[in-house]
Structure 1
Amino acid sequence: MVTNLAANEEQSGSYLSPGEPLYASVSGAGTPIILLHGLFGMGSNLGGLARALAPEFEVHQLDLPNHGRSPWQAMTSLDDLARSIASYIESHSLKSVAVFGHSLGGKVAMQLALAWPQHVSALVVADIAPVMYPSSHDTVFAALEAVDSAKPASRAKAGEIMRELLSEPDLVPFLALSLKRDEDGTYVWRFNVKALRENYEEFRAAPAGPAFDVPALFVYGLNSSYVDDQGIAKALELFPAAKFEGIADTGHWLHAEKPRQFNAAVLDFFRESLQASPEQISKERESQ
């Protein structure tokens, strides 16, 4: 259930101006792992996974540009988003990191690994493949814009507006996590609806770059339509060392639907693939 994500969300916050660093919540200690959320989400959506990883790793939950408390910007292609993560890694002197991404965050994680391989020591992609996807969010954007126009005075009223346009019941509580109360008392979106709609075609695109044999795990829900045989074949073209794990009776929101099984799969993979230190991995790549 998507509503399981609600426990990770704070009720207040403020927008950041363009040019400021990405918003991040950092926990734990050890080898750094970056967590990237999906479209319309924020880093706190992955709080359950962060708590599972933090006893053994240093976990960075990032808000992508135009999401959560991170800066707003006009252009956000996959390459732009990946570049913002590369800048975060460099500005925090993280050197080589492990990266996890769900949905859009998975595409960004893949693009980061392909374009900045020196920064990525291991990769986990959740329920997305490196392919072009058809448009499927028109009604979501209509619901978001309806809330914008109505300027609701409560979260409940925003939910009523969205339910008139959205047939998938779990979407309403998930989207409502990104509402915040503005100074005038009305509720507005934390994410930049205008920029997300204008760049939506870019988000549908496939990550691109030279093949990279980084240790990689693609974990997906067997009830989801996002990963099929074509997607697996393309993933192997770009990431020839990739492994694949399907979780039964699970859809696109696998980290919320089957958190124990999902978290265990991700934790086990990072334990296995990060036995060597980032410094060792960098030296091995330099000698190749």
Structure 2
Amino acid sequence: MKLNFKKTGAGKPLIIVHGLFGSADNWFSIARELEKDFTLYLVDQRNHGDSPHSEDWDYSVMAEDLKELMQDEGLSSAYFMGHSMGGKTVMRLALEYPELVEKLIVADIAPRFYPLHHQQILEGLNAIPLGQLKSRKEADEILAKYINNPGIRQFLLKSLGRDENGKFIWKINLPVITEKIANVGEAIESEKPFEKPTLFIGGENSDYITEKDKEDITRLFPNSHLIYIKNAGHWLHAEQPAAVIETVRAFLNT
């Protein structure tokens, strides 16, 4: 699949992959700094942002999408950074095609299985009647019945767009995501580890990477280390962007 992406900066290529319900736009504030050191590819994964929709949606096909992007761009290898679902996508790519990945950064996700925990978000998104929707404010009011946090609602509603006739549409492929949400929690496994330099970055206030996860991380990524960003939860790049930028630079420039 030909993914939508935004290319900026100069230097070694760094491909950044967003998480569930997100898009390349989530990384613009980070990109403004990192583009000084790297050629950035900010990617919309399939069924997200401005990339095409598909019934096929799992980590194998999402990793293949990144491989195709590299081939189209003439890249023999690159640095990769992925957050949450994007972190699992880049882990899958590194384990399947280690020659493509020079260094790997995984933001606030482990290789393990995660149980379903997005049902309330999906209920809220599916409750918004796009055909009758008159404004984004109305959409927010409906979503507020399911999600109290206004920051999370604002993030989710970034995927609300308009078609050529001005009618509201979802940029995300909501039906497929709703049907196949269990795929997001799938574990990443491989008989052969990825042995190149790898950095796992956790949010200090997040429970996505726990002490128990270190065994799986070390087994699959033996040349890795794990650090936690202080005063950050799961959305560490939005909550502590300066710390994330400093951490990424230090790792990739070493």
TM-score normalised according to structure 2 size: 0.96
Cα deviation, 1:144-194, whole Å, max 9, x if unaligned, reads 111145641211111111001113332100011111123443322101001
Task: Point out the more displaced range, 175-184 or 131-140.
Answer: 175-184
Contact preservation (8 Å) 1:148, 1:188: no
Alignment CA distance shift 1:148-1:240 (3 Å): farther
2:246: which partner in 1?
Answer: 264
Q: What residue identity is the alignment partner of 2:203?
A: G
**Aligned residue identity for 1:154:** S
Tell me which residue corresponds to 2:157: 176
| CA distance in 2: counterparts of 1:154 and 1:125, whole angstroms | 36
1:81 aligned onto 2:52 = no
Larger displacement relative to structure 2 (62-71 or 170-179): 170-179
Is the Cα–Cα contact under 8 Å of residues 97 and 122 in structure 1 kept in the other structure? Answer: yes
- The code of the aligned residue for 2:223 comes to A
Q: Which residue of 1 aligns with 2:197?
A: 215
**Separation in structure 2 between the aligned mates of residue 119 and residue 199 of structure 1, nearest angstrom:** 28
Residue 225 of structure 1: aligned partner:
207
TM-aligned CA deviation for residue 53 of structure 1: 1.3
Alpha-carbon contact 2:122-2:178 (below 8 Å) kept: yes
Q: Where does residue 238 of structure 1 map in the other structure?
A: 220
Deviations 1:201-228, CA, capped at 9 Å, x for gaps: 1111011222111111001111101000
How far is 1:126 from its partner?
Answer: 0.5
Secondary structure at the counterpart of residue 170 of structure 1: helix
- Using the alignment, how far apart are the partners of 1:231 and 1:152 within structure 2? 43
Structure 1 residue aligned with 2:233: 251
Q: Which amino acid aligns with 2:113?
A: M
Q: 1:154–1:186: 8 Å Cα contact kept in structure 2? A: no
Matched-pair contact (CA < 8 Å) for 2:131–2:168: no
1:37–1:148 CA distance, 2 compared to 1 (3 A): farther
- For residues 73 and 150 of structure 1, the distance between their equivalents in structure 2, rounded to whole angstroms, comes to 22
Structure 2 gaps of 5+ residues are none
Select the residue among 24, 28, 32 that pairs with 1:43: 24
CA distance in 1: counterparts of 2:40 and 2:203, whole angstroms = 24
Q: In the aligned structure 1, how far is the partner of 2:125 from the partner of 2:33?
A: 32
Q: Compared with structure 1, are the counterparts of its residues 158 and 113 closer, same or farther at alpha carbon in structure 2 (3 Å cutoff)? A: same
SS across alignment from 1:123? strand
**Structure 2 equivalent of residue 11 of structure 1:** none
The answer on 1:155 being equivalent to 2:115 is no
Listed as ranges, the matches of 1:123-162 within 5 Å are 123-148=104-129, 151-162=132-143
Contact kept? 1:75, 1:199, Cα under 8 Å: no
Give the Cα separation in 2 of the matches to 1:231 and 1:114. Answer: 17
- Counterpart in 1 of 2:14? 33
Deviation at 1:230, TM superposition (A): 1.7
- Unmatched segments (≥5 aa) in structure 1: 1-18, 273-288
Q: Distance in 2 between matches of 1:224 and 1:168?
A: 16
Q: Secondary structure at the match of 1:70?
A: coil
Amino acid at match of 2:46: P
Q: Is the 8 A contact 1:29 1:58 kept in 2?
A: yes
Give the AA of the match of 2:28: G
| Structure-1-length-normalised TM-score | 0.85
Matched residue type, 2:252: F
Task: State the shift of 1:138 in Å.
Answer: 0.4
In the alignment, is residue 190 of structure 1 matched against residue 160 of structure 2? no
Residue 203 (structure 1) aligned with residue 169 (structure 2)? no
Q: Is the partner of 2:40 in helix, strand or coil?
A: strand
Residues 212 and 238 of structure 1 are in contact (CA less than 8 Å); yes or no, is this contact kept in structure 2?
Answer: yes
